[in-house]
């Protein structure tokens, strides 16, 4: 006897769409076939797509940043995630000066134990190697604990998060030896600071100058530098939140040359351009890297469709409207980051619905590829034996995004007013219904920590 059968849907997995029933037992996919029978619960998915839950490989929940803390903690952030069809999040645990990697992650994991509404993993963000670079000796222990990817920041000097090139290369080398994938935020900090200094002198500090302080070449140079170092020491590299046409070209060239370089972008770079910073609410869009010009947006759209971009993630990092307003006359005072955890999968699926990408491609970008790259063997597809993280998507359901119909603790969203055709109607987390037609119906704390495997995609 199965626990759940999802009947009559179009199942998207492994690059194809097939009409098949899905059977679930003990939280796992237990059967795939025509006319399955014999379950406690039957969900009719006629006219719906049946998809693996999204794996959002980039979030910042309960993160102290920019003089405050992100508006979503683990409870509200993961609640919002499942309401948008995301069943796994990868949060960034920031290791601070003197702190250990496992110690940092353990503290975050404790918070999740009572709060998480979906499954979760952590990337550690390395900001300091400690005395005698002792942190390098902790990489093995971190991998054994299931932390098999680290983020490094080439920016955020004054926030104390930036690492220099020398440290970056040391981290790459040690990561390669220990099966860890390095994620990099690539922007050139000195050029940004020089631009800000000039704008301050000329008294031009409104939101649009945030973009002008970090134009396309600022990311392009850093992406090239990061790839150069990774290729030189033959370490794999994952570039987070890629936003510029030059960065896309650099990643493309590296892949062509056979380097293990992976690229992530975010829905906001696919939808918006730097024009958003000219809007009266421009500060709300301040994030780093900023939205760029139309050439970058178009190059990213093409790269998403063509296969050059490996993953789409949110970089969910929301701040309250009043906090974003801190920078209305001086953009450097606005905490960087925007909301997206609940809108990513609906947005990417709406591209599939509109024929801009295929459904299998949307699933590959948002679920299968991040699960594979980051060592989550039970996630990312609808195969027998995988976790039954399942989304029913109604391609006809109209939905207009508004802060009021999101499930986050944020009080605004950069996606306000976006009209989507198609929306998730049910989300199952390991076979249990957690989202039902607009309502969160799960229990906080039921999300589980994912102990990840070492990187092995080379």
Kindly list the strands in the beta sheet with 16-19, ordered across the sheet, starting from the edge strand earlier in the chain: 16-19, 10-13, 49-52, 390-400, 419-429, 432-436, 439-440
Nearer to ligand URP among residue 248 and residue 287 (C-beta): 287
Site residues for ligand URP, 332-361, by CB under 6 A, read 336-337
Please state the closest distance from residue 39 (CB atom) to Zn ion, in A: 40
Please state the closest distance from residue 434 (CB atom) to ligand URP, in A: 26
Nearer to ligand URP among residue 115 and residue 187 (C-beta): 187
Please state the closest distance from residue 20 (CB atom) to ligand URP, in A: 38
Pick one of ligand URP, Zn ion, none as the site partner of residue 187 (Cβ within 5 to 8 A by kind).
none
> Do 264 and 308 contact (CB within 8 A), yes or no?
no
Q: How far apart are CA 276 and CA 294, in angstroms?
A: 12
Pick one of ligand URP, Zn ion, none as the site partner of residue 337 (Cβ within 5 to 8 A by kind).
ligand URP
Q: Using alpha carbons, list the distances in angstroms from residue 237 to 179, 273, 316, 330.
A: 12, 26, 21, 34
**Helix ranges (DSSP H) in 19-164:** 74-83, 101-115, 139-144
Q: How far apart are CA 406 and CA 105, in angstroms?
A: 28
Pick one of Zn ion, ligand URP, none as the site partner of residue 309 (Cβ within 5 to 8 A by kind).
none
Please state the closest distance from residue 71 (CB atom) to ligand URP, in A: 12
CB proximity list for 310: less than 8 A, separation 6 or greater: 238, 262, 263, 264, 365, 369, 373
Nearer to ligand URP among residue 91 and residue 138 (C-beta): 91
Please state the closest distance from residue 42 (CB atom) to ligand URP, in A: 42
Q: Cα-flanking dihedrals φ and ψ of residue 149, to 5°? A: -150, 140
Please state the closest distance from residue 381 (CB atom) to ligand URP, in A: 27
Please state the closest distance from residue 56 (CB atom) to Zn ion, in A: 11
Q: Using CB under 6 A, which of 21, 315, 342, 394 touches ligand URP? A: 315
**Helix ranges (DSSP H) in 84-206:** 101-115, 139-144, 165-178, 189-202
Site residues for ligand URP, 418-457, by CB under 6 A, read none
- For ligand URP (CB under 6 A), the number of binding residues is 8
Number of H helices, E strands in the chain: 14, 21
> Do 51 and 393 contact (CB within 8 A), yes or no?
yes
DSSP string, 271-338: H--GGGGGSTTGGGG--SSPP--HHHHHHHHHHHHHT---EE---B----HHHHGGGSS-GGGSPP-B
Nearer to ligand URP among residue 52 and residue 370 (C-beta): 370
> Do 186 and 225 contact (CB within 8 A), yes or no?
yes
Binding site for Zn ion (CB under 5 A): 185, 315
Please state the closest distance from residue 156 (CB atom) to ligand URP, in A: 7
Pick one of ligand URP, Zn ion, none as the site partner of residue 123 (Cβ within 5 to 8 A by kind).
none
Please state the closest distance from residue 70 (CB atom) to ligand URP, in A: 8
Pick one of Zn ion, ligand URP, none as the site partner of residue 287 (Cβ within 5 to 8 A by kind).
ligand URP
Q: How far apart are CA 436 and CA 427, in angstroms?
A: 7
Nearer to Zn ion among residue 138 and residue 315 (C-beta): 315
Site residues for ligand URP, 150-209, by CB under 6 A, read 185
Q: Using alpha carbons, list the distances in angstroms from residue 401 to 141, 356, 418, 438, 449.
A: 42, 20, 5, 12, 30
Show the binding pattern over residues 57-96: x = contacts ligand URP (CB under 6 A), - = does not.
---x------------------------------------
Nearer to ligand URP among residue 289 and residue 375 (C-beta): 289
Q: How far apart are CA 88 and CA 305, in angstroms?
A: 23
Give the residues lining the site for ligand URP (CB under 6 A): 60, 185, 287-288, 315, 317, 336-337
């Amino acid at each position: 006897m199965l626990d759940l059968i999802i009947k009559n849907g179009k199942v998207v997995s492994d690059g194809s769409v097939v009409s098949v029933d899905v059977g679930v037992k003990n939280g796992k996919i237990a059967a795939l076939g025509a006319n399955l029978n014999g379950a406690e619960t039957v969900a009719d998915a006629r006219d719906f797509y049946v998809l693996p839950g999204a794996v959002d490989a980039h979030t910042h929940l309960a993160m102290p940043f920019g003089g405050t803390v992100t508006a979503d903690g683990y409870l509200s952030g993961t609640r919002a995630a499942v309401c948008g069809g995301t069943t796994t999040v990868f949060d960034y645990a920031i290791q601070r000066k003197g702190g250990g990697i496992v110690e940092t992650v353990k503290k975050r994991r404790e918070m999740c134990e009572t709060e998480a509404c979906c499954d979760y993993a952590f990337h550690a963000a390395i900001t300091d190697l400690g005395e005698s670079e002792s942190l390098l000796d902790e990489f093995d222990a971190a991998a054994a604990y299931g932390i098999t990817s680290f983020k490094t920041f080439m920016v955020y000097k004054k926030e104390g998060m930036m690492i220099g090139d020398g440290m970056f290369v040391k981290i790459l080398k040690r990561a390669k030896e220990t099966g860890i994938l390095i994620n990099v935020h690539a922007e050139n900090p000195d050029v940004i600071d020089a631009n800000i200094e000039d704008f301050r002198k000329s008294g031009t500090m409104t939101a649009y100058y945030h973009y002008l302080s970090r134009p396309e070449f600022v990311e392009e140079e850093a992406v090239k530098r990061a790839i150069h170092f990774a290729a030189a020491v033959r370490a794999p590299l994952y570039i987070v939140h890629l936003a510029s046409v030059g960065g896309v070209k650099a990643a493309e060239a590296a892949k062509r040359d056979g380097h293990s370089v992976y690229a992530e972008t975010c829905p906001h770079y696919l939808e918006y351009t730097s024009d958003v910073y000219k809007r009266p609410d421009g500060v709300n869009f301040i994030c780093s890297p900023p939205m760029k010009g139309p050439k970058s947006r178009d190059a990213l759209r093409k790269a998403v469709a063509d296969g050059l971009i490996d993953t789409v993630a949110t970089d969910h990092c929301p701040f309250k409207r009043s906090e974003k307003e801190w920078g209305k006359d001086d953009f450097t005072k606005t905490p960087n980051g925007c909301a997206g955890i609940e809108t990513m999968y609906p947005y990417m699926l709406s591209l599939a619905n509109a024929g801009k990408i295929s459904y299998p491609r949307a699933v590959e970008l948002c679920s299968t590829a991040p699960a594979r790259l980051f060592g989550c063997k039970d996630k990312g597809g609808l195969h027998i034996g995988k976790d039954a993280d399942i989304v029913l998507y109604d391609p006809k359901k109209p939905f207009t995004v508004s802060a009021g119909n999101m499930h986050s603790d944020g009080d605004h969203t950069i996606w306000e007013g976006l009209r989507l055709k198609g929306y998730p109607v049910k989300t199952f987390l390991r076979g249990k219904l957690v989202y039902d037609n607009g309502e969160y119906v799960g229990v906080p704390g039921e999300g589980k920590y994912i102990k990840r495997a070492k990187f092995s995609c080379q």
